[in-house]
Amino acid sequence: MSSSDVAASLPAVSDRAVLFASPAAAGGRPHIEEPVAYDAILLAGFGGPEGQEDVIPFLRNVTRGRGIPDERLEEVAHHYRHFGGVSPINAQNRALKAALEAELDRRGVTLPVYWGNRNWAPYLADAVGDAAAAGATSLLALATSAYSSYSSCRQYREDFARVLDETGLGGAVTIDKVRQFFDHPSFVDVFVAGVGDALSGLIAEGIAPGRIRVLFSTHSIPLGDAQRSGPRDVGFGPGGAYQAQHEAVAAAVMAQVAARSPAAAGARWELVFQSRSGPATQPWLEPDVCDVIAGLPAQRVEAVVIVPLGFVSDHMEVLWDLDTEAMDAAAEAGLRAVRTPTPGADPGYVAGLVDLIEERLHGTPASDRPHVTTLGPWFDVCRAGCCENARLGFRPAVAGLAP
């Protein structure tokens, strides 16, 4: 299904409100194709602990409202404690912020970048407050997640609305958001290069392409949330827009790798999932990356390329679930294993993020926006009912039509 097909299948824009939106976005059009004079960029992250004493308070923030006792949180805390209680995510976002500022300056875009997190300092409320205090009242948000789901898109939009409401800034500050960038060339190119290098290296070692499996890994989410990802009433398949986007990007990566190195075309690939949490009775997206790895020797596979397709940097889910658990699973299965890089602060990736910012500054027509799958370019203003949380329902959110 192409992005034009998705748009055509949706109901016409109604008079539903787009909360706390710039005048250009307030009308609810899917793509904003007129220039907007933003005052600042709001870089929104997940956040992470920066010391052993931070770990449990951080995990309480992540699981707020679920009533999970500290003894159960401690079962997850050992991932962080293994690395001294420090998640690398805050340092990575500091590096990303500095790289964005440098690229904006290089292009002569004089917009300050304010950084705030959902779950740990610096918090979003502080970032928005600092921007408003400096006179920036029209903000363009960039969240550090590429795909469509509740936790990777809508929850950030809810965070922005909550912050504006709780701080009383809703009457003075607007927040729009750049489109989900899962299929922007600058994001995809990092994975193309990584997979290409990994396959070339393994083939040079004498491993036949047909004996190599490429596993594109992303965070598992509850099946109900996956099915609700993306706009309502659009047939993305059993895993919703979330799974469809990942599969489309993985296919695009492998097609580009094969075009650049025909010898690599014999390697098979599949989409796998990781980092599952929650009760065993609740269905989540499968298969699990470690389960798949364990079964590869029976398929005469000799090597595995692990691609963190769902992640923008080497944070805890990459360091623990892939670099530790998945690599251990590969060693136990007797497989040669290579893990490819995440975008991080790669210069090409950062340039692409600034391209996304400039799309909104200049009002670039949707037809001129780069994308490597038929699902893109994704929406600037999310559609009504997009990415509902099955447990929480709909809460106020910016940058989208109200349900």
Q: What is the pLDDT along the chain (403 residues), one digit of tens a residue?
A: 555 555 544 444 445 689 999 999 999 999 999 999 999 999 999 999 999 999 999 999 999 988 889 998 998 899 999 999 999 999 999 999 999 999 999 999 999 999 999 999 999 999 999 999 999 999 999 999 999 999 999 999 999 999 999 999 999 999 999 999 999 999 999 999 999 999 999 999 999 999 999 999 999 999 999 999 999 878 899 999 999 999 999 999 999 999 999 989 999 999 999 999 877 788 999 999 999 999 999 999 999 999 999 999 999 999 999 999 999 999 999 999 999 999 999 999 999 999 999 999 999 999 999 999 999 999 999 999 999 998 889 999 999 999 8
CATH architecture for segment(s) 3-181+346-368: 3-Layer(aba) Sandwich (3.40)
Decide: 216 and 252 in contact? Cβ < 8 Å: no
DSSP structural state of residue 391: T
Q: Measured over all CA atoms, what is the biggest interatomic distance in the chain, rounded to whole angstroms?
A: 64
Pairing of strands 336-339, 138-143: unpaired
Between CA 48 and CA 120 the distance in angstroms is: 6
For residues 46 and 152, give the distance between their C-alpha atoms in angstroms, rounded to a whole number: 9
SS3 labels along 339-368 = ECCCCCCCHHHHHHHHHHHHHHHHCCCHHH
Q: Give the closest residue to 247 by CA, choosing from 282, 221, 218, 278.
A: 218
Exposed, middle or buried, 201 (CB in 10 Å: 0-12/13-18/19+)? Answer: middle
Q: Which helix (H) or strand (E) holds 299?
A: none
pLDDT in the model for residue 218: 98
Please, are residues 37 and 138 in contact by the beta-carbon 8 Å criterion? yes
Q: Within 10 Å of residue 110's Cβ, how many Cβ atoms?
A: 7
Residue 106 DSSP SS3:
helix
> In degrees rounded to 5, what are phi and psi of residue 91?
-65, -40
- What does the block give as tokens for 359? 């799309």
- CATH class belonging to 185-339: alpha beta
Pull the structure tokens for residue 54: 């931070």
What are 357's two structure tokens?
């910012």
The sign of the torsion formed by the CA atoms of 221, 224, 225, 226 equals positive
pLDDT reported for residue 390: 84
Cβ contacts of 76 within 8 Å, gap of 6 or more: 59, 277
Same fold for the pair 3-181+346-368 and 185-339: yes
Rg (CA), the chain: 21
CA–CA–CA angle 75, 86, 121 (5° rounding)? 105
Helix or strand holding residue 271 (H, E): strand 268-274
pLDDT score recorded for residue 11: 47
Give, in degrees to the nearest 5, the angle at Cα 44 between 311 and 341. Answer: 20
The domain spans of the chain are 3-181+346-368, 185-339
pLDDT digits (tens, 9 = 90+) for 209-235: 999 999 999 999 999 999 999 998 788
- Following CA atoms 142, 143, 149, 154 in sequence, which dihedral angle do they give, to the nearest 10 degrees? -80
Q: Any long-range contacts for 126-134 (C-beta under 8 Å, 24+ apart)? A: 127/42, 127/43, 128/42, 128/160, 128/163, 128/164, 128/167, 128/169, 128/173, 128/175, 129/167, 129/169, 131/39, 131/40, 131/42, 131/173, 132/167, 132/169, 132/172, 132/173, 134/40
According to the model, what pLDDT value does residue 14 have? 47
pTM of the model: 0.95
**Strand order across the 303-307 sheet:** 268-274, 212-219, 303-307, 336-339
Neighbours of 83 (CB within 10 A): 14
Q: Report which DSSP code applies to 319.
A: I
CA distance 282 to 277: 10
Contact between residue 42 and residue 34 where contact means Cβ atoms under 8 Å apart = no
pLDDT for the residue numbered 322: 98
- Residue 16's pLDDT is what? 62
